[in-house]
Amino acid sequence: LREAAGEVDMRVVAQQDMELERGNKPGEPQHFTGTVWMLRCSVPPFGTGIHQVFFEREARTHWHRHPEGQILYVVSGRGLVQKLDEKKGTKPSEEISAGDFVYFAPNEKHWHGARSDSFMVHVAITPRSRAGETCWEEEVSPEDYSVASLKGQE
């Protein structure tokens, strides 16, 4: 297996060598509300997914879960994150801005996106899992989004 640990040398992946793609491609399953642009850089040998994602105002992911969790680093702009607390039945949300890190636990149901008055760019680091791929669920409702936005303004 060429990707076995120790068989891949140091590697620089330049931005111009990454593919810029729309988050919502026509004809494919939709995982976002609004317009999102992604630069993808999947680095061997670990298969960790690394994406720089640009969310336009109001753009956000659908609710989803990552089998091994996820780390976000906010590069610029202002955004929102929200998780579902399945024990309490609540939906805690927080505002995020440049320089913040966010950690999502394995299988924690959540979404991330821009505020309604700002774009947001984050780098998402998603470990590969033997348990499978990211599990995409329903769209974030306008109600949940506006409640999260109001809370972010407190």
Name the nearest CA neighbour of 126 among 109, 103, 153, 95: 103
Residue 70 or 149 with smaller CB distance to Mn ion: 70
**Smallest separation (angstroms) from Mn ion to the CB of 75:** 16
Q: How many CB atoms lie within 10 A of CB 39?
A: 18
- Considering only residues 33, 70, 82, 149, which one is a binding residue for Mn ion as defined by CB under 5 A? 70
Residue 88 or 103 with smaller CB distance to Mn ion: 103
Determine the residue with CB nearest Mn ion.
Answer: 70
* Binding residues with Mn ion: total (CB under 5 A): 1
**Smallest separation (angstroms) from Mn ion to the CB of 61:** 6
Residue 33 or 70 with smaller CB distance to Mn ion: 70
- CA–chain centroid gap for 132, Å, is 17
Residue 58 or 72 with smaller CB distance to Mn ion: 72
* Span of 10-18, 32-40, 42-50, 68-76 interacting with Mn ion by CB under 5 A: 68-76
Structure tokens at 37: 């642009």
* Span of 15-23, 52-60, 69-77, 89-97 interacting with Mn ion by CB under 5 A: 69-77
Q: Distances in Å between the alpha carbon of 79 and those of 25, 40, 121? A: 22, 20, 8
**Smallest separation (angstroms) from Mn ion to the CB of 6:** 30
- Contact call for residue 52 and Mn ion (CB under 5 A): no
Cβ 80 vs Cβ 39: under 8 Å: no
Q: Is 11 helix (H, G, I), strand (E, B) or coil?
A: coil
Residues 6+ apart with CB under 8 A from 125: 48, 49, 50, 70, 71, 72, 73
Q: Which residues bind Mn ion (CB under 5 A)?
A: 70
